[in-house]
Amino acid sequence: MKKYILVIILGLILSNPSKLKSQDIIKLLSGQEWQVKVIQEYDDSVLFYYSQDSLKIIHSLKRKYIDKVDYHGVPVKFPIDLVSKKVIYTGVVQVDSSLNANTLYNILKEWFASDVSKFYRSSSEKGSGTNDAIWGTKKANMATVDLSFKNDQPLKLDDPANKKLLGRVVCKYFGTSMGCVRLLYLTFDIKIQAKDGKYKYDISNFDYTHYNHYSASKIGFNVFSDKGPCKSTGPIEELLQCENCTGGLEKFYNYIDTEVNKLILDVKEFVNKNKVNTSW
């Protein structure tokens, strides 16, 4: 089942002007065999993470129980921090207890330098150069754009005192040649901090830029003016509010989630492969 985020702004409930409690909504939806989990309850709204057909839920709730639903219909997998409202992948990974913070820090630093291609990722193995015939891409137009996203030195911050490393990742995503989603560049940060026997990663600050691959100009997503949630460039959190190009953007979001999880797994595998027993 696809997963959605639904924000319900509570209004007039039945004939009772008092606010509907989260457990009442759970009871309602559970009765309809909808899987519901409350993430966080606010004074005037409840944030639910649920799975099932979105329109059924919206229409039912609007018709019977509430007067307003703030909804965006694109399935999302992203972990959203409830305080900052930002997309953040975070986790603490336990490793071999023999690895002290300094040793682990050096291994992680080596990971950042091990393979630059990990930090410049593409949805196409061929890349834009060999897709020109299909896409109609002008190399001369795109060369400057590609250069602006060059990421030959992904490690941006090295803090040995705090055993902290900060790197930058660039993803190049090819949509369709004539569709609503064309060519997207995504950048984000990966911060890793080492302690004895464990490390913590935080992956955040996802920013996108959308281009017409032929003219190399920035374009929004089916909008007349380049502003609002469907504008050509901005943080991913704003793009998630865009109600245009939902099919193409869903594929883009799935690509992001896949690539981030590949990166998280790659760090774990590198540490396990390169761990050194320091107990000698």
Does residue 146 share a domain with residue 201?
A: yes
Same domain flag for 112 and 151: yes
Percent helix, strand, coil in the chain, to 5, is 30, 30, 40
Same domain? 125 vs 252: yes
Residue type, 183: L
44 and 122 together in one domain: no
Do the beta carbons of residue 109 and residue 209 sit within 8 Å?
no
Q: For the chain, what percent of residues have pLDDT higher than 90?
A: 45
Residues 262, 153, single domain; the answer is yes
User: Which residues in 69-86 are b (16+ Cβ under 10 Å) and which e?
Assistant: bebbebbbebebeeeeeb
pLDDT digits (tens, 9 = 90+) for 198-238: 999 999 999 999 999 888 899 999 888 889 999 999 999 99
Report residue 13's pLDDT band, with 50, 70 and 90 as the boundaries.
very low
Q: How many domains does the chain have?
A: 2
Q: Would you say residue 236 lies in a domain?
A: yes
pLDDT band at 34 (very low <50, low <70, confident <90, very high): very low
Does 130 map to a domain?
Answer: yes
Q: What is the pTM of this model?
A: 0.69
Tens-place pLDDT, residues 41-74: 333 344 443 444 444 444 344 333 333 333 344 4
The identity of residue 239, as a single letter, is: L
Residues 64 and 161 in one domain: no
Do 180 and 125 belong together in one domain?
yes
CA-closest candidate to residue 136, choices 185, 180, 173, 178: 178
Specify the range with the lowest mean pLDDT, choosing from 58-72, 163-177, 219-233, 263-277.
58-72
Statement to judge: residues 39 and 116 lie in one domain: no
Average per-residue pLDDT for the chain? 75
Q: Any idea which of 39-48, 84-93, 103-112, 191-200 has the lowest mean pLDDT?
A: 39-48
Mean pLDDT, rounded, for 97-111:
93
Would you call 212 helix, strand, or coil by DSSP?
A: coil
Confidence band, pLDDT 50/70/90 cuts, at residue 125: low
**Higher-pLDDT residue of 279, 122:** 122
| The predicted structure's pLDDT at residue 195 | 95
Residues 222 and 244: beta-carbon distance below 8 Å: yes
Rounded Cα distance, 36 and 106, in Å: 43
- Residue 257 has a CB neighbour count (10 Å cut-off) of 16
Higher pLDDT, 113 or 139: 113
* Domain carrying residue 134: 89-274
Indicate if 110 and 169 belong to the same structural domain.
yes
In a domain, 212, yes or no: yes
Residue 213 lies in a domain: yes
For the CA atoms of 243, 246, 188, 4, what is the dihedral angle to 10 degrees?
A: 80
Question: Binning pLDDT at 50, 70 and 90, where does residue 143 land?
Answer: confident
